[in-house]
Amino acid sequence: MGVVYKARDEQLERDVAIRVLPSGTLSDETARRHFCKEAMALAKLSHPNIETVYEYGTQDGMDFLVLEYVPGKTLADRLAGGPLAEKEIVVIIFPILSAVTSFGHSSPPKFKQE
């Protein structure tokens, strides 16, 4: 969702990823509140296989997330060449499973229905 740019946080001297959401994605207040809630929930997670959220906001009408920069190919890049071999799938899926199951001890987040 959106475009991701590699950038440099000069203040903290680190590379970051800035995800800019497509124009109009958060066109109403309900969508904006949901986005903020999700960004805050993600920022509370701490796991080596989950990107850290550093900041979110709106600048000049563009909504964005500032995330930990993780070098390497995207999943889309890997899939561009066709289906992955089983060994490649295992290399990708186990870190994902590790991240997801590490938070299994707590109950899933509950959102107030509006």
Q: What is the pLDDT of residues 31-80, one digit of tens each?
A: 888 888 888 988 888 888 888 999 998 888 888 999 999 998 888 888 99
Domain interval for residue 15: 1-71
Task: Give the residue, 46 or 105, on which the prediction is more confident.
Answer: 46
Residue 109 domain-assigned?
Answer: no
Residue 13 domain-assigned?
Answer: yes
Q: Please tell me whether residues 85 and 64 are part of one structural domain.
A: no
Cα separation, 99 vs 96, whole angstroms: 5
Contact 18, 66 (CB under 8 A): yes
Q: Please tell me whether residues 58 and 22 are part of one structural domain.
A: yes
Residue 110 domain-assigned?
Answer: no
What number is the average pLDDT over the span 9-26? 90
* Total number of domains constituting the chain: 2
What does the pLDDT read at residue 25? Answer: 80
DSSP 22: P
Q: Please tell me whether residues 77 and 66 are part of one structural domain.
A: no
